[in-house]
Amino acid sequence: MSAANPDDDTSPLVWLPFEADLLGNVPSGLRCEVVDPTVAVPPTVGEVAFYVPPYQVGPRVAEVLDRMGSLQVVQTLTAGVDNLRDRVPAGVTLCNGRGIHDTSTAELALALILSSLRGVPGFVRAQDRREWRPEVRPALADRRVLIVGHGAVGAAIEARLLPFEVEVVRVARSARPGVHPVSALPDLLPDADVVVVIVPLTAETRGLVDADFLSRMKDGALLVNVARGQVVVTDDLVAALRSGRIAAAVDVVDPEPLPPDSPLWDAPNLLVSPHVGGASSAMWPRAYRLVREQLHRFDAGEPLVNVMSGAY
């Protein structure tokens, strides 16, 4: 245990997945415990007022919420809250990790795009075979990139794309200046060379990328999914890849981990990374900063940031 105020058992209790010292200046009015509920659930579970679950949210992490009778705030380290949203008790404030993964995910999205377009997976396989196989590949320059889900991560992806001399088209849940609504996708997809999907998983986005969506993509286009695996209908993606019309690069799949018998393993023109968009050295400094700021707001009775609303 590391505690900001270890001598006051009546001060609000915070459960953290890491040592409080990593946060730097923790409010003195809070008690902090380092807890991994997948290993053990301490008897203080009923006293927890502010809960920061581990980065990897599994069933046992969500189940512990039912035992937190004093819970006021859940602060996730993930941008998506689909694994916890339905388990958070009524009256408890749920905050996501907006800002923690923007940099990491944007970097990976760009890496997937460039690797796919320039044929890096093929070069690696040729290297393993000791073969020298030069070829002309499409560049990212001069391409039209459609970002489906232009929130914080989408904006971070755009910022990294623009120096590559591309045209960026933005899509979000609802229209705003410079951003198209999701309803405009049927008209936008046929003109996009690269389609980057970075939407939250909701009832509206589950299965968004289906056979109809994929059929509207232009021949030779690249689909990049750095959102959630369930946003894409796996069988429809496999069919589209086998047709040879499109290519894809995905950091997320359905289910995860990808089972050995999944048809995605053998699908042509597909690059798969094992859900590592947020998992980089850039994550933790941003995570510590957000949690520290939230704890100071909580201790001072100030409004929290990143509060999830019914819109998601």
Catalytic residues, by residue number, are 228, 256, 275
- Shortest CA distance to 240 belongs to which of 222, 262, 265? 222
- State the DSSP H helix or E strand holding residue 12, giving kind and residue range, or none if neither: none
| Residue with tokens 């579970």, as numbered in its chain | 45
* Tokens, residue 263: 């048809």
Dihedral angle computed from the Cα positions of residues 75, 76, 82 and 87, in that order, rounded to the nearest 10 degrees:
-50
Element spanning 201, H or E: none
Task: Please tell me what DSSP assigns to residue 45.
Answer: G
Cα 36 to Cα 1, 91, 128, 245, distances in angstroms: 12, 24, 41, 46
Tokens of 9: 């058992």
Question: Can you tell me the distance from the alpha carbon of 149 to that of 159, in angstroms, rounded to the nearest whole number?
Answer: 14
Alpha helices in 119-191 (DSSP H): 120-128, 152-161, 185-188
Distances (CA, A) of 123 to 53, 127, 223: 40, 6, 20
275: left (phi over 0), alpha (psi -120 to 50) or beta: left
The burial of 126, by beta-carbon neighbours within 10 Å (0-12 exposed, 13-18 middle, 19 or more buried), is given as middle
